[in-house]
Amino acid sequence: MRRVGIVSAGQTKFTKDDSSIESLLVSSVKPLFDESKDLSQKDIDVVLTSTNSNQKYLANIVSELSGISPRIAHSVESLCNSGTNCIVSAFSYIASGLADVALVVGAEKTDSPGLVLDWDVSRGQYKHPIYWSSLFTSSHMRKYGTTLEDLAYVSAKNHVNGRANPFSYFDRSYSFEDVMASKKLTDNVRLLDCSMPCNGSASILLASEDVANKFKEKPVWITGIGQKSISAGFTKNSDLSSMQSTSIAASDAFSMARCSPREIDVAEVHDAFSICEIMALEDLGLAERGRGAKIVRDLYETGSRKVNPRGGLIGTGHPLGATGIAQTIEAYRQICGESGKRQIDGARTALVHNMSAAATSSTVMVLRS
């Protein structure tokens, strides 16, 4: 298997502007080319698109609009972790030798059909994601004594981090007090505990070890990948105080990367709701069971950006198909030392965690300099 590196990336600001999915997708391809002076359209032999849009043939449309004639072009859809699934598909084409350079382009619109999984009859009338999030929260609170304050620290921290991210949807900050006082959607989920759907686009370029140096002096290598799907329906989660798919994906990713959670300098975790970041830290092995909330509070109080330096989903917005790619771009930039005000000194090893539909599936990647 050949090594696969990340060699370029492009993003545009998350918004709620009126825009077509095709135009959104192409918008982040331009900045990617801008920062890769040695990249030409002819170099790209795979174009994959990540979105839950109902529009068809998007990878071919993006290719044509970008002047690329790839050998392989298709879409990848897996609700909220479409982005990392798309990166993993591109990784596989390159690692196997079928391709050398792959462009992965993700985008979503605010009114995405991927926001609610209508198929899941077991959710009854409680199909909206706030309900599974509320039941996860109840369960974690009962088992570990997690409080509404603990949840508010997740959101407040990620909003603080998001303020240093020029691509964030938000143009104002939300404090701990704002989160505590925000509208109650259920007894334990408030409006500011939720990530917000928005328009967004993010693109990333992967290349084989044979050609990566042509585009980037020091590529960032994808050294570990773990993916697990335990089900599609929410009610198949056997324990609601943890995310089984995340634990399994993390264990596989660490094993492939031959590294341990202790070596992670920076982590992008899927905070679809406040409770998800606390559970993810525990399931990824970045916190002991029941200690996730304590870690978040420490990060908040010390101003550490180690977890979700980009601002997470809560602090920047959640355009489903772009999210996993934007997370991976942050990990890439941190390792390259290109994160500006968000830079974590000396970051060498990063983790990306992206999941879907009440954690019924998860992707975890380990990136290294």
Partner 1 sequence: MNRFEKELKEGNFVCGECPNCKNIVWPPSEYCSACLGGVIWRGASRSGTLIEYSRKNGEWFGMAEFEGKIRILGTIMSDNEPRVGQKLRLEKCGYDEGERFLFNVVGN
Give me the residues that bind partner 1 (CB under 8 A), please: 120-127, 131, 134-135, 137-139, 142, 185-188, 232-236, 240
Q: Cβ of residue 188: shortest distance to partner 1, in angstroms?
A: 6
Q: Burial, 89: exposed, middle or buried (Cβ in 10 Å; 0-12, 13-18, 19+)? A: middle
Nearer to partner 1, 14 or 234 (CB): 234
Q: Cβ of residue 15: shortest distance to partner 1, in angstroms?
A: 30
Nearer to partner 1, 123 or 163 (CB): 123
Q: Cβ of residue 128: shortest distance to partner 1, in angstroms?
A: 10
Q: Cβ of residue 125: shortest distance to partner 1, in angstroms?
A: 5
Q: Cβ of residue 150: shortest distance to partner 1, in angstroms?
A: 16
Please tell me the distance from the alpha carbon of residue 367 to that of residue 369, in angstroms, as a whole number: 7
Q: Cβ of residue 177: shortest distance to partner 1, in angstroms?
A: 23
Nearer to partner 1, 22 or 193 (CB): 193
Nearer to partner 1, 127 or 333 (CB): 127
Q: Cβ of residue 306: shortest distance to partner 1, in angstroms?
A: 31
Nearer to partner 1, 57 or 126 (CB): 126
Nearer to partner 1, 138 or 354 (CB): 138
Provide the residue count of the chain: 369
User: Judging by DSSP bridges, how do beta strands 266-268 and 349-356 pair with one another?
Assistant: parallel
Q: Are 122 and 132 in contact (CB under 8 A)?
A: no
Please, which residues bridge with residue 222 across strands?
A: 367
Q: Which of 365, 155, 191 is nearest to 275 (CA)?
A: 155
Q: Which of 110, 107, 120, 113 is nearest to 49 (CA)?
A: 107
Q: Cβ of residue 290: shortest distance to partner 1, in angstroms?
A: 17
Q: Cβ of residue 131: shortest distance to partner 1, in angstroms?
A: 7
Q: Burial, 145: exposed, middle or buried (Cβ in 10 Å; 0-12, 13-18, 19+)? A: exposed
Nearer to partner 1, 339 or 360 (CB): 360
Nearer to partner 1, 115 or 211 (CB): 115
- What kind and span of H or E run contains 296? helix 292-302
Q: Which of 297, 367, 359, 282 is nearest to 327 (CA)?
A: 367
Round the CA-based radius of gyration of the chain to a whole number and report it.
Answer: 19
Please tell me the distance from the alpha carbon of residue 107 to that of residue 142, in angstroms, as a whole number: 37
Q: Which of 275, 282, 228 is nearest to 253 (CA)?
A: 228
The two tokens of residue 59 are: 């990878």
Nearer to partner 1, 131 or 332 (CB): 131
Q: Burial, 125: exposed, middle or buried (Cβ in 10 Å; 0-12, 13-18, 19+)? A: exposed
Please tell me the distance from the alpha carbon of residue 267 to that of residue 327, in angstroms, as a whole number: 9
